[in-house]
């Protein structure tokens, strides 16, 4: 069973644990995959928050659902919960863009187990996007499983880069240019 720890829920050495919460959002192209993933997550003891859609509508718009999934993850994290999210669409591109509009969200498009691992290990992604028309149910489920199981190890170079993104997200100030970006003097 996967668990998360609620910040402030520890007394001495005892910590209360909760099932990992996973926020889901899709569009019509990802609806079947989202329903499959919901069942899989529940079977594996995850808490699912489904932000829709709940019925097929070929004219629905992915931002409506993916922004809510991103807001759910960001809101949980603001309350000390280490929840994650999954957004699904035809290619996953637009869904990733929508989720990344939410402050504090780092949504990565995954298309293989390796990209799912790297999303967590290098980018501390808290939302993953999958293209429903690009993958089988089994492949998509495996990508999500790997994403959810992979921790962020906090390696300094990756943490530094994530910090730069976070500062920009909050202030809109660009990071300083490193020496390698400065022009070489004319010879």
Q: pLDDT-based confidence at 149, cuts 50/70/90?
A: very high
Count of beta carbons in the 10 Å neighbourhood of residue 3? 14
> For the chain, which residues make up each domain, given as ranges?
22-173
Q: Determine which one of 51, 71, 95, 135 is catalytic.
A: 95
Strand ranges (DSSP E) for the chain? 3-11, 14-19, 21-26, 47-50, 84-89, 107-109, 127-131
| pTM for this entry | 0.85
Provide the mean pLDDT of the chain.
89
pLDDT at 46: 96
Rounded Cα gap, residues 143 and 165, in angstroms: 25
**pLDDT at position 185 over 50:** yes
Residue with tokens 């919460």: 21
**Residues marked as binding?**
27-28, 90-94, 123, 133, 157, 161
Q: pLDDT-based confidence at 36, cuts 50/70/90?
A: very high
177 versus 146: which is more confidently predicted? Answer: 146
pLDDT in tens, 91-142: 999 999 999 999 999 999 999 999 999 999 999 999 999 999 999 999 999 9
pLDDT at 18: 66
Q: What is the DSSP string of 109-149?
A: E-SSHHHHHHHHHTT--SEEEEETTTS-HHHHHHHHHHHHH
pLDDT at 20: 93
**Residues marked as binding for D-ribulose 5-phosphate?**
27-28, 90-94, 123, 133, 157, 161
pLDDT, average across residues 4-18: 44
One CATH from 3.40.1400.10, 3.40.920.10, 3.40.50.300, 2.120.10.10 for 22-173: 3.40.1400.10
pLDDT at 22: 98
State yes or no: is 79 an active-site residue: no
Q: pLDDT-based confidence at 186, cuts 50/70/90?
A: low
Q: Determine which one of 3, 5, 44, 122 is catalytic.
A: 122
pLDDT in tens, 56-101: 999 999 999 999 999 999 999 999 998 999 999 999 999 999 999 9
Residue with tokens 């390796």: 114
State yes or no: is 95 an active-site residue: yes
Helix or strand (DSSP H, E) at 35: helix 31-43
Give me the helix-helix angle, 137-149 and 113-121, nearest 10°: 20
């Amino acid at each position: 069973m996967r668990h998360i720890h609620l910040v402030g829920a520890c007394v001495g050495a005892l910590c209360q644990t909760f099932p990992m919460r996973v926020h889901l959002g899709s569009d019509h192209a990802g609806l079947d995959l989202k329903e499959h993933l919901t069942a899989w997550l529940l079977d594996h003891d995850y808490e699912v928050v489904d932000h829709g859609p709940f019925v097929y509508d070929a004219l629905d718009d992915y931002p409506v659902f993916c922004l809510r999934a991103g807001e759910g993850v960001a809101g949980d994290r603001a309350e000390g919960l280490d929840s994650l999210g999954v957004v699904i669409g035809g290619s996953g591109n637009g869904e990733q863009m929508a989720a990344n509009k939410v402050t504090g969200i780092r949504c990565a498009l995954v298309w293989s187990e390796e990209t799912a691992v790297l999303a967590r290990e290098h980018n501390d992604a808290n939302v993953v996007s999958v293209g429903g028309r690009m993958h089988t149910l089994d492949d998509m489920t495996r990508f999500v499983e790997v994403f959810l199981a992979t921790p962020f190890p906090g390696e300094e170079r990756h943490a530094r880069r994530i910090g730069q993104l976070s500062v920009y997200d909050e202030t809109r100030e660009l990071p300083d240019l490193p020496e390698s970006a400065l022009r070489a003097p004319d010879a």
